[in-house]
């Protein structure tokens, strides 16, 4: 290989992602000779913090891992812990957990679409510039995001790091009057969620076709959110318990976040993976609108993730309306359990993809060991593969164009680097 | 006229200065038409926090000002952009600019920066800052 001619490019930290990192890119003879996505946020040790804690403390602790998807952490945790404790919460709890999760999808997807992603497709540096071009879209996005937060608040007491969820159910059942008020707000916002999907489907998303494995949860009926079997478009079909036999995390020198691979290969989790595997479970009209917009499923264009998010916002809002339509409070919003030793597993669909938890409890109900595999760790190797494919043809591109495209690719995955261990300083070498 | 005082901060060291001053204001006894809210790194939630208020006084700690000093911000242009490390790159400046673009700034907004160091100022300094702010509020300066 020719000696690399260093072309130092000093670019700021990546804006508009949750976290910090950097990208190192080297071209030799016009081809990519090296590409490394650096995550340099320090490890957060949550799994160690959980050791020795009573199982009842786990939902409140794991909610602190992420300000954007705390409910996901709580739901994967309670699923795993209830598996150990032999708890089977009834239909009220199951329905409210799905509602809780719908709120988080709406909140997180709307934050991503409007604050982070959309500026890339409108030639804007940030949402403030976007608001100057399309104030109505930004107002709508913030309103929908706020409604997602209202759902989280309804069951969680507050939207950031909610405290309403517990092992066995929820601490309290909201009143019928609270539910009626929320239902009215959600009904009023339905046309706006429909308009959001139309808006995103008109974005000038880049065309590309990449080969990757999509991995998501799937259930017998309905669009999988708060549980299901882990399936892929390459034949995988396992219970959460079998995750460690098929997926392995490993450390790479350039990142403080683990890379998780499926049988040694990168794979995709998140909204597009869900859509690729569960499109048949979406309402026909949503599928039809995606189709009319030229999105054929399964899709190999990672940028279709934006459309998937908008489709999921609409779906989640309709689902929330369905779940609240016949709401009645209950005197038993949770079931109690006796401590029991054992090992349990949980997998739910966080906004960014599968969130897998494993807990080992002792006979007093204290956590002996915990393991958490967040979606961003699972997508990291796929992001690098996408960057390699996308940037391969850009060896002569100007610094600004390279950075813009690299950041757009990374943001498209909505990486929560804080969860995975924060992002983009770009260093380019050309020879 | 009613006034909503929004104190922005976090539980960490000097970043909690606006919270501490807000608590001092309550102790000093504010006019009944004033309410104090302590906000933990609100980002875009600042828009919600301002919603429905005709007059807002916003307090935030700043390391660009000498600790213990109060500075009235005369223009949004004075506000520093968020650190790239902040959540989604959205800080007070971005949230206020977005509110301005969306026509969602309160009819009356005043912004005060409080000089803060790595740790909370001593109680005497907090009391003096609160007293100074109370004077501003009584003069109506906190509502313009």
Distance from CA of A59 to the nearest CA of B (A): 21
Q: Is residue A358 a contact partner of residue A371, using CB atoms and an 8 Å limit?
A: yes
List CB contacts (< 8 A) between A139 and chain B: 102
User: Which of A67, A126, A146 lies at the smallest CB-CB distance from B94?
Assistant: A126
User: Which of A20, A115, A132 lies at the smallest CB-CB distance from B88?
Assistant: A115
CB contact under 8 A, A15 and B94: no
Contacting B with CB below 8 Å, chain A residues are 12-18, 20, 67, 111, 115-116, 126-128, 131-132, 135, 138-139, 142, 145-146, 422
Question: For chain B, how many structural domains are there in total?
Answer: 1
Q: How many A-B residue pairs are in contact by the CB < 8 A criterion?
A: 46
pLDDT surpasses 60 at A269: yes
Q: Kindly identify which residue of chain A lies nearest to residue B40, measuring between CA atoms.
A: A160
| A376 vs A109 pLDDT, higher one | A109
List CB contacts (< 8 A) between A16 and chain B: 88-89
CB contact under 8 A, A131 and B102: yes
φ and ψ at residue A381, rounded to 5 degrees: -65, -35
The set of residues, in sequence order, having a beta carbon less than 8 Å from that of A228 and lying 6+ positions away, is: A217, A218, A219, A347, A349
Q: Is residue A369 a contact partner of residue A392, using CB atoms and an 8 Å limit?
A: no
Question: Using omega within 30 degrees of 0 as the cis cutoff, is the peptide bond preceding A298 cis?
Answer: yes
List CB contacts (< 8 A) between A128 and chain B: 94, 97-98, 101
CB contact under 8 A, B88 and A16: yes
The set of residues, in sequence order, having a beta carbon less than 8 Å from that of A360 and lying 6+ positions away, is: A342, A343, A367, A368, A369, A370
Domains present along chain A, CATH in parentheses: 46-378 (1.10.645.10)
Low-confidence ranges of chain B (pLDDT < 70): 1, 82-89, 141-144
For residue A158 the two structure tokens come to 């507050």
CB contact under 8 A, A142 and B94: no
Q: What's the pLDDT tens digit per position in A178-207?
A: 999 999 999 999 999 999 999 999 999 999
Distance from CA of B123 to the nearest CA of A (A): 30
pLDDT surpasses 80 at A6: no
pLDDT value of residue B81: 72
In terms of Cα–Cα distance, which of B61, B95, B96, B55 is closest to B75?
A: B96
Query: Averaged over A312-335, what is the pLDDT?
Result: 97
Which CATH number do you get for residue B92?
3.40.50.1450
pLDDT value of residue B86: 53
Say how far apart CA A135 and CA A127 lie, in whole Å: 10
CB contact under 8 A, A127 and B94: yes
Question: Domain span at residue B67?
Answer: 3-143
Specify the DSSP element, H or E, that contains B48: helix B45-50
- Looking at the predicted complex, does its ipTM rise above 0.90? no
């Amino acid at each position: 290989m020719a000696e690399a001619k260093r072309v130092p490019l000093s670019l700021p930290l990546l804006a508009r992602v949750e976290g910090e990192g950097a990208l190192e890119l080297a071209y030799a003879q016009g081809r990519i000779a090296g590409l490394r996505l650096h995550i340099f946020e320090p490890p957060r040790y949550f799994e160690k913090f959980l050791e020795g804690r009573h199982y009842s403390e786990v939902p409140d602790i794991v909610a602190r891992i992420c300000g954007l998807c705390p409910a996901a952490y709580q739901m994967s945790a309670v699923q795993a812990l209830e598996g150990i404790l032999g708890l089977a919460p009834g239909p009220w709890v199951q329905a409210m957990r799905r509602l809780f999760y719908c709120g988080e999808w709406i909140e997180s997807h709307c934050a991503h679409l409007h604050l982070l992603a959309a500026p890339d497709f409108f030639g804007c540096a940030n949402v403030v510039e976007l608001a100057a071009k399309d104030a109505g879209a930004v107002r709508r996005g913030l309103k929908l995001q706020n409604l997602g937060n209202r759902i989280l608040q309804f069951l969680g007491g507050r939207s950031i790091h909610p405290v309403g969820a517990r092992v066995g159910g929820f601490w309290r059942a909201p009143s019928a009057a609270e539910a009626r008020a929320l239902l009215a707000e959600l009904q009023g916002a339905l046309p706006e969620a429909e308009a959001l999907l139309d808006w995103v489907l008109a974005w000038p998303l880049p065309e590309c076709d990449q080969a990757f494995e999509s991995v998501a949860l799937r259930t017998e009926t309905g669009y999988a959110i708060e549980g299901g079997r882990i399936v892929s478009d390459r034949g995988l079909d396992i219970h959460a318990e079998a995750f460690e036999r098929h997926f392995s995390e490993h450390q790479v020198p350039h990142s403080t976040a683990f890379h998780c691979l499926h049988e040694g290969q990168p794979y995709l989790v998140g909204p597009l993976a869900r859509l690729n595997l569960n499109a048949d479970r979406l309402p026909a009209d949503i599928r039809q609108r995606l189709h009319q917009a030229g999105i054929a499923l399964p899709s190999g264009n990672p940028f279709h993730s934006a459309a998937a998010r908008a489709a999921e916002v609409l779906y989640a809002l309709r689902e929330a309306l369905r779940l609240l339509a016949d709401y009645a409070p209950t005197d038993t919003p949770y079931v109690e359990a006796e401590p029991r030793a054992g090992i349990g597993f949980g997998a739910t669909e966080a906004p960014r993809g599968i969130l897998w938890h494993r807990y080992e409890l002792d006979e007093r109900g204290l956590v002996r060991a915990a393991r958490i595999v967040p979606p961003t760790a699972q997508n990291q190797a796929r992001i690098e593969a996408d960057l390699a494919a996308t940037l391969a043809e850009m060896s002569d591109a100007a610094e600004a164009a390279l950075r813009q495209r690299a950041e757009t690719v990374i943001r498209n995955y909505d990486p929560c680097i804080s969860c995975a261990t924060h992002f983009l300083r770009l260093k380019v070498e050309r020879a | 006229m009613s006034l909503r005082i929004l104190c922005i901060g976090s539980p960490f060291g000097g970043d909690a200065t606006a919270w501490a001053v807000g608590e001092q204001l309550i102790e000093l006894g504010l006019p009944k038409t004033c309410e104090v809210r302590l906000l933990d790194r609100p980002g875009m939630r600042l828009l919600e926090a301002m919603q429905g208020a005709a007059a807002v006084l916003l307090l935030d700690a700043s390391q660009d000002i000498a600790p213990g000093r109060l500075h009235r911000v005369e223009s949004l242009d004075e506000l520093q952009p968020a650190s790239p490390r902040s959540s989604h790159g959205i800080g007070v400046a971005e949230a206020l600019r977005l509110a301005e673009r969306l026509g969602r700034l309160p009819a009356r907004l005043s912004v005060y920066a409080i000089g803060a160091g790595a740790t909370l100022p001593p109680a005497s300094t907090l009391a003096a800052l609160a007293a100074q702010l109370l004077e501003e509020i009584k003069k109506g300066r906190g509502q313009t």
